[in-house]
Amino acid sequence: MTQLQALSKEELQSRLEELTKQYEDYQGENLNLNMSRGKPAPEQLDLSMEMLDLFDQHSTLHAENGIDLRNYGGLDGIPEAKQFFAQMLAVDTKEVIIGGNSSLTLMHDTISRAMFHGVAGGARPWKDEAKIKFLAPSPGYDRHFAICEHFGIELIVVEMQEDGPNMDEVEALVREDELIKGIWCVPKYSNPSGAIYSDEVVERLTNMETKADDFRIFWDDAYTVHHLSDEKIEVKNVLETAKAFGNSDRPYVFASTSKVTFPGSGVAAFAASEENIADAKKHMSVQTIGYDKINQLRHVRFFTDVISLEAHMEKHAAIIKPKFDLVYNTFREQLGNKGIASWSEPKGGYFISLDTPAGTATDIVQMAKEAGVTLTGAGATFPYGKDPEDKNIRIAPTFPTLKELEKALDVLCTCIELKSVEKLLS
């Protein structure tokens, strides 16, 4: 197939008719397919079912420090869980707090505390500043943006590149504006592009001069063990690097087992400098007596160490990699060389970032929906739901079966080409 732009008006008209017919056929099929969220497939959840065999009424539920896990206490987590996450995130056990079931909650609560009480070493609560701002490398994760929007934090879009945010932009902004207090980062297999932060980006982020002396990097290491290729990518250790530059309090690191064991019944963790940890614990002690310690032990018994975790993640990859491959193959086959789409082919994580011609994404997502295929809302990958070029669509291929995914992709490709042809004809 040639680039659509090379086609004559008549050829385009004829292609439009074919595509419209095809689209109407899909509509007739009454499809109900969903590629909107990064949800593991049921087969992935089956991988962790043996975790439910670990405890029964005869189990002794004591931590290695002797505390009865069934009772109150353990504000910052059981020692075993701290060791596990410290190993996973390559930090010291003193730099870790074990949370509840959700790293999103830890991020929300961290911002909530910063707004109301300020951060460790900060001069004042962020709410007492003039309207504060965060940098939002985009396309990015809608739930990050939603937290900021919820607290009235202004989001400034910076360009997301293959190796992280455009650091020239970032440095220029934070150097001048003391109201810029933070940046959102998904350093490995970024949502949605799969970008991997380079060593240089990690160094510049942790070393750059910031006008705000209480600037924080929100380092959402959501996909740190979620590899899709044999190459198990390592991103430079942000906490260590920040320490080396004398900015140890700058990074807040978040992770969880949501896409490792059971989303909703996993364990989340927060890693940061000891000063940040002490500050967080001071506030947390007002909010809770402790998170679910039995579930913490269940997880560390299931994964004895990071080696067994890696083996487990390979099983996840075996289930979802064929889905990613199906997306790439379908896109290449149906959209390749037509000059109407480009997409990322990430080495891990949960998403593919797809760009269609400017001004078409909203219409394409709507058309797909009307044919029974639900995608992440167009614009969701940008702050305030507004993609300035209206071209980015996030593809979440993990949840549907391969068969469902194949159909959903056929519908999507038809919608993309149809809209592109319409655009060329208009």
Q: Tell me if 258 contacts a second copy by CB under 8 A.
A: yes
In this structure, are residues 160 and 180 in contact, taking their beta carbons and an 8 Å threshold? no
Is residue 247 a contact residue for a second copy (CB under 8 A)?
A: no
**Region binding a second copy by CB under 8 A among candidate stretches 25-33, 35-43, 90-98, 209-217:** 35-43
Among the listed residues 9, 28, 50, 426, the single contact to a second copy using CB under 8 A = 50
Q: Does 424 bind a second copy (CB under 8 A)?
A: no
Q: How far apart are CA 20 and CA 139, in angstroms?
A: 30
Which of 90, 92, 127, 385 binds a second copy (CB under 8 A)? It is: 127
Quote the DSSP letter at residue 376. P
List beta partners, residue 157: 136
| Site for a second copy, residues 284 to 313, rule: CB under 8 A | 286-295
What is the distance between the alpha carbons of residues 152 and 380, in angstroms, rounded to a whole number?
18
CB neighbours of residue 91 within 10 Å: 22
What six digits make up the tokens of 86?
């410290």
CA distance 236 to 199: 6
Taking the complex as a whole, the smallest distance from the CB of residue 294 to a second copy amounts, in Å, to 4
| Cβ neighbours of 258 (radius 10 Å) | 20
278 binds a second copy (CB under 8 A): no
Choice between 6 and 286, CB closer to a second copy: 286
Helix extents (H) in 177-273: 199-207, 238-244
Which range touches a second copy (CB under 8 A), out of 153-161, 282-290, 325-333, 366-374?
Answer: 282-290
- Residue 324 is encoded by which pair of tokens? 């990613």
Residue 76: CB minimum distance to a second copy, A = 13
Contact 340, 356 (CB under 8 A): yes
Site for a second copy in 145-174 (CB under 8 A): 146-147, 150-151
Count of Cβ atoms closer than 10 Å to residue 348 Cβ: 23
Give the integer Cα–Cα distance in Å for 75 and 69. Answer: 12
53 binds a second copy (CB under 8 A): yes
- Interface region with a second copy, contact rule CB under 8 A, candidates 7-15, 32-40, 86-94, 270-278: 32-40
The SS3 of residue 403 is helix
Q: Is 311 helix (H, G, I), strand (E, B) or coil?
A: helix
| Residue 108 near a second copy by CB under 8 A | yes
* DSSP β-ladder status, 133-138 and 154-161: parallel
Is position 232 an interface residue for a second copy (rule: CB under 8 A)? no
Q: Residue 42 interacts with a second copy (CB under 8 A)?
A: yes
The only residue of 16, 31, 45, 179 in contact with a second copy, by rule CB under 8 A: 45
Cβ nearer to a second copy, comparing 100 with 140: 100
Q: Which is nearer to a second copy, 189 or 291 (CB)?
A: 291
Task: Report in angstroms how near the CB of residue 117 gets to a second copy at its nearest.
Answer: 8
Based on CB atoms, which residue is closest to a second copy, 23 or 184?
Answer: 184
CA dist 64 and 77 (Å) reads 12
CA-based R_g, the chain, Å: 23
- SS3 state of residue 138: strand
Residues that bind a second copy (CB under 8 A): 37, 39-40, 42, 45, 48-50, 52-53, 55-59, 68-74, 100-102, 104-105, 108-109, 112, 115-116, 127, 143, 146-147, 150-151, 258, 262-265, 283, 286-295
